[in-house]
Amino acid sequence: MKIETTDYEIAPLPEQEKVIDIIQQAEARLAELTGSPITLIAYSKTEGERKL
């Protein structure tokens, strides 16, 4: 998957089992609700982004 933006980048996630488990649970529940597979992507603002 190619995502192009200068304002955001894919956020690094800590290697904690709990974080991954929560994301997987959310993806599974959303897939149940929509009837389609879901992939969640965590974004964080880049260094150059202004804080409002």
Mind listing the pLDDT tens digit for each residue in 11-38?
A: 777 777 888 888 899 999 999 999 999 9
**Conformation bin of residue 16: beta by default, left when phi > 0, alpha when psi is -120 to 50:** beta
Per-residue pLDDT at 39 exceeds 70: yes
Angle at 34 between CA 8 and CA 16, to 5 degrees: 50
Q: Which residues pair with 7 in a beta bridge?
A: none
pTM: 0.62
- Write the burial class of residue 27 (CB in 10 Å: 0-12 exposed, 13-18 middle, 19+ buried): middle
